[in-house]
Structure 1
Amino acid sequence: MKRRQSSVYSPGGCGCGLLLLPVIAVSIGVMFALAGLAAAALVLLIVAIGVTVWLCRSREQRRADGKTNVGWTIFLVVAYLLSISYLVFFILLLASTFTGESVTLG
């Protein structure tokens, strides 16, 4: 009586799935890094809005005390530029991911 030998098949049929594991791991890491940057940009935008509201409310008191808002203004310009530009980039990246088409401005 002959014994039949069983064959072991990989999910990809040729072991390609095993070769792609490092690529998949890196892409998951990049995804989490981009999501973390988007969360940081959102927090920065919320902080910038809070500082803007605080400066508007304390404007008269700061003027009476003779304080200037130059440092706060520089911080706000940088914070708004960084947070809004990255959030727009992230939203366009998500749109291109789900639609499968390249999204460009202009």
Structure 2
Amino acid sequence: MLLLPVIAVGIGVMFALAGLAAAALVLLIAAIGVTIWLCRSREQRRAEGKSNVGWTIFLVSAYLLSISYLAFFILLLISTFTGESVTVG
């Protein structure tokens, strides 16, 4: 009976981490889509004189945020299922 709050918090943390991983995956998919769109419309945007600075800043931040969190989540899953500590480097 005393462990029920601890279990509830653990389940809540699990769902929070799964939600963050899902958001990081969606962000990665969106960044890939924007990259493909920018590559396909490169000549048209250049002819119109439009700059890609804003999109570049978005893409760099999106890739850094999504890939770093997904790597952390994958290492966390490996650590959970193997029972061993996983370190990078």
TM superposition score normalised by structure 2: 0.99
What amino acid is the match of 1:61? Q
Which of 1 and 2 has greater Rg?
1
Select the structure with the greater relative contact order (CA < 8 A; seq sep ≥ 6).
2
What is the percent sequence identity of the aligned residues? 89
The number of residues matched between the two structures is: 89
In the TM superposition, structure 1's runs of 4+ consecutive aligned residues that sit over 6 Å from their partners are: none
Counterpart in the other structure of 2:69:
86
| Matches for 1:23-42 after TM superposition, within 5 Å | 23-42=6-25
Counterpart in the other structure of 2:50:
67
TM superposition score normalised by structure 1: 0.84
Q: Which residue of the other structure, out of 37, 44, 49, is the alignment partner of 2:32?
A: 49
Root mean square deviation, CA, Å: 0.2
- 1:65 Cα deviation from its structure 2 partner: 0.2
Q: Structure 1: any 5+ residue segments left out of the alignment?
A: 1-17
3-state SS in 2 of match to 1:86: helix
